[in-house]
Amino acid sequence: MTLFYYSIDLLLFNSDWDAMGLTPLEAMSYGIPIVASVLHGGLKEIVNQDEYGFLISTHDTNLLAEKAIYFLQNPQLTKIIAMKGRERVEQVSNIEQIVKDLELLLKL
């Protein structure tokens, strides 16, 4: 999928039900900005601030299109958001931190 992610400028993702949308997280890990709508799912736990990407809980196609166009027309800001998204994915998927968190939970 590396070539795919390096060939796109942004990822538009829509889902009704998705426990944790891995496609947007994977795109973010490649520094690709996301424009997403998820009706029911956990993506909002990762993309919980606008600085990581654009996520809404409705399928408002006009708003999604406007945000996608905005990202494409503002490459400097989009690059910052893409890098913040990448950092966020790295932060929440850090194996050392995950192990520490699990150890704390198991000691309780």
Determine the residue type at 51: E
- The pLDDT confidence band at residue 33, using thresholds 50, 70 and 90, is very high
Q: Can you read off the two tokens belonging to residue 69?
A: 């166009």
CA distance 96 to 75: 33
Of residues 84 and 95, the one with the higher pLDDT is 84
Q: What is the mean pLDDT of residues 86-104?
A: 92
CA distance 43 to 106: 25
CB of 54 closer than 8 Å to CB of 67: yes
Where does 2-107 sit in CATH, by number? 3.40.50.2000
What was the pLDDT predicted at 101? Answer: 87
CA distance 48 to 57: 12
